[in-house]
Amino acid sequence: MASLDPSEIESMPLAAIDVSDPLLHQRDLARSYFRRLRREDPVHYCADSKFGPYWSVTRYADILHVDMNHQTYSSDGTVVLDDAFFSGGHIENEVSKTSFIVMDPPHHGPRRSIVIPALSPGNIQKMEAGIRERTRQLLDSLPIGEEFDWVSEVSIELTLRMLAILMGFPFEERHKLLYWSNVQSGAPGDGVVESWEHRSAVMREIAERFTRLLNEKIDAPASADLMSVLAKSPLTQEMRPEEFLGTITLLMTGGNDTTRNSMSGSILAMHQFPDEFAKLKADPSLVPVAVSEILRWQCPVSYMRRTATENSELGGKTIRKGDKVVMWYLSGNRDEGMYERPEDFIIGRPNPRQHLTFGFGIHRCLGNRLAELQLRVLWEEILPRFDRIEVTGDPVRIHSTMFRGFSALPVRLHRS
């Protein structure tokens, strides 16, 4: 296990560095380990971790290479470090295996194509007015000058409102999306999932509710939401029930923690770099480039894992067939070879959309335009309303290797 003492990061033996430990991420120490690995051992082998041996790929160019070469670095079966997550014979794991994020060609493409129309730029544009309206309502209801938690009051709530619009899910039932998504990505003992049986029961409830919604949409007039798009697509009829559920839960969980944490991260970034906030306030036309920098800097998905299908060379190292290969997007986004002052939040960097936050290649995030839209609308609506969003205490980071985010962020709004 890597040391949790920051003073030991530079001196500990390279072979002892294990960046998979969620505590390193919760204490925001992983970034310092990545800096060292990029410099001294950019394709790093960890022989012994809680998840078994794995490779860490930490430089931008190498990550791009792995993500673009799906024949050699496969997504088949899993994209997380923990092999147990997708195995064990539970119903919910069978469903997870039917998500196209854990498929290679030729299975991946046709399933991805089914949801592409719902997340196309043109379709997302149709959702903008609804997202803006719900964002305005929420921001207008916030207290001025009083401390409150941005994560629960704003990030979680806005993400749910957006997901309800995307999925065509009843607005008043939106909190179920949060619960279901937490159960789907959870495990017994995490405070949400009581047992595997409990999780299976919730998965059945999700299947039942979404099948009912789909059937309602079949006869309703066509609209831009995902369930309507699925209902009107002949390809949906060919899906097995567990495949349908796998697709729904992928979209529900894929868009949840990620979007939420990018919103909270944006507040922390503007607080830690007040000159950048002032720049944005003075020139709101910078919001789109600010959004890209928020995504680079926060990087809500720290990594994606691949499995080597053959022996290959990467960064002078030999990766063997069957090895786990982890692309650390969080590290690539802070690669000194790509970015000047990579740890700083700077609005207006050259090529702002070049970050790795949404991955690259055939699995590149399908929701990227929607996530950008939500962040753009949020900041376009924040700027005329508030003069400062003060972070009043330490942010509470989540205990996760994969998701980089916050469970609490105390703030106070100021208006002159």
> Helix (H, G, I), strand (E, B), or coil: what is residue 228?
helix
Q: Specify the amino acid at residue 40.
A: E
Q: Which of 161, 156, 134, 143 is nearest to 385 (CA)?
A: 143
Examine residue 101 and tell whether it contacts ligand HEM (CB under 6 A): yes
Q: Are 334 and 346 in contact (CB under 8 A)?
A: no
Q: Are 263 and 158 in contact (CB under 8 A)?
A: yes
Shortest distance, position 367 Cβ to ligand HEM, whole Å: 2
Return the structure tokens found at 114: 């089914």
Examine residue 365 and tell whether it contacts ligand HEM (CB under 6 A): yes
Interface mask toward ligand HEM for 43-82; x: CB under 6 A: ------------------------x---------------
Single out the residue of 42, 265, 342, 367 in contact with ligand HEM (rule: CB under 6 A). 367
Single out the residue of 112, 279, 317, 412 in contact with ligand HEM (rule: CB under 6 A). 112
Residues 167-226 that bind ligand HEM (CB under 6 A): none
Interface mask toward ligand HEM for 2-31; x: CB under 6 A: ------------------------------
Phi/psi for 216 (5° steps) reads -65, -35
Examine residue 297 and tell whether it contacts ligand HEM (CB under 6 A): no
Q: Are 383 and 283 in contact (CB under 8 A)?
A: no
Q: Specify the amino acid at residue 157.
A: E
Examine residue 300 and tell whether it contacts ligand HEM (CB under 6 A): yes
Q: Which stretch binds ligand HEM (CB under 6 A): 231-239, 341-349, 362-370, 405-413?
A: 362-370
Examine residue 331 and tell whether it contacts ligand HEM (CB under 6 A): no
* 32, 36, 48, 252 from 55: Cα distances, Å: 18, 15, 11, 29
Examine residue 166 and tell whether it contacts ligand HEM (CB under 6 A): yes
Examine residue 268 and tell whether it contacts ligand HEM (CB under 6 A): no
Return the structure tokens found at 353: 């959309």
Shortest distance, position 414 Cβ to ligand HEM, whole Å: 27
Examine residue 97 and tell whether it contacts ligand HEM (CB under 6 A): no
Q: Which of 300, 305, 336 is nearest to 36 (CA)?
A: 336
Return the structure tokens found at 102: 């854990």
Interatomic CA distance for residues 385 and 335, integer angstroms: 35
Single out the residue of 66, 304, 308, 402 in contact with ligand HEM (rule: CB under 6 A). 304
Q: Which residues bind ligand HEM (CB under 6 A)?
A: 67, 100-101, 112, 166, 250-251, 254-255, 258-259, 262, 300-301, 304, 357-361, 363-367, 370-371
